[in-house]
């Protein structure tokens, strides 16, 4: 059987980019059970409520929903179980220092297959204030309207 190459996105957390200022990103491996990988190959997962927790020098992926595998038996996994992330020690230590600053957190941005292995893109982030969110929405809307006006003008 040929190996997969490239990057195939399974789930994306678009809300994270709306709710947080992203300071730094990192790719991490995920420790999964066999039925979880099979469920992910079917393209079903949700990162919406997910977050990363630093516990005793290890990073853990919490509250990410990977539904049970339909053909799974008694070996099936719990959908919202805690999953360990595989990250180099120096990266964990670096991010642990930054987490001590107030208002910082680690959030998952994307879950994807990279060369046949499940990876998660995580981000060190600061929470946005309500006015920051409104400003970003307004800016995006203004840009969209400007693009629309330019395309209408070019079509004439």
Do residues 51 and 71 lie in contact, with contact meaning Cβ atoms separated by under 8 Å?
A: no
Cα–Cα distance, 69 to 142 (Å, whole number):
44
pTM, 2 dp: 0.72
Fold classification of 7-128 (topology level): Small Protein B; Chain: A; (2.40.280)
Residue 80: its pLDDT value, please? 66
% the chain with pLDDT above 70: 88
SS3 50: coil
Q: Where are the domains of the chain?
A: 7-128
pLDDT tens digits, 66-102 = 777 766 666 665 666 788 888 899 988 888 888 887 7
pLDDT tens digits, 34-45 = 777 777 887 778
Compute the average pLDDT of residues 56-67: 84
């Amino acid at each position: 059987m040929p190996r997969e190459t490239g990057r195939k996105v399974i789930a994306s957390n678009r809300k994270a980019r709306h709710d947080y200022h992203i300071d730094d990103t990192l790719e991490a491996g995920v420790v999964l059970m066999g039925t979880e990988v099979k469920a992910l190959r079917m393209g079903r997962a949700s990162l919406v409520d997910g977050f990363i927790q630093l516990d005793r020098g290890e990073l853990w992926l919490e509250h990410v929903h990977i539904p049970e595998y339909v053909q799974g038996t008694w070996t099936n996994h719990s959908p919202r179980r805690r999953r360990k992330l595989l990250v180099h020690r120096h990266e964990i230590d670096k991010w642990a220092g930054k987490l001590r600053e107030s208002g910082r957190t680690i959030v998952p941005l994307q879950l994807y297959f990279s060369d046949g292995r499940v990876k998660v893109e995580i981000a060190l982030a600061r929470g946005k204030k309500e006015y920051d969110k409104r400003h970003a929405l307004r800016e995006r809307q203004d840009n969209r309207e400007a693009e629309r006006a330019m395309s209408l003008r070019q079509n004439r």
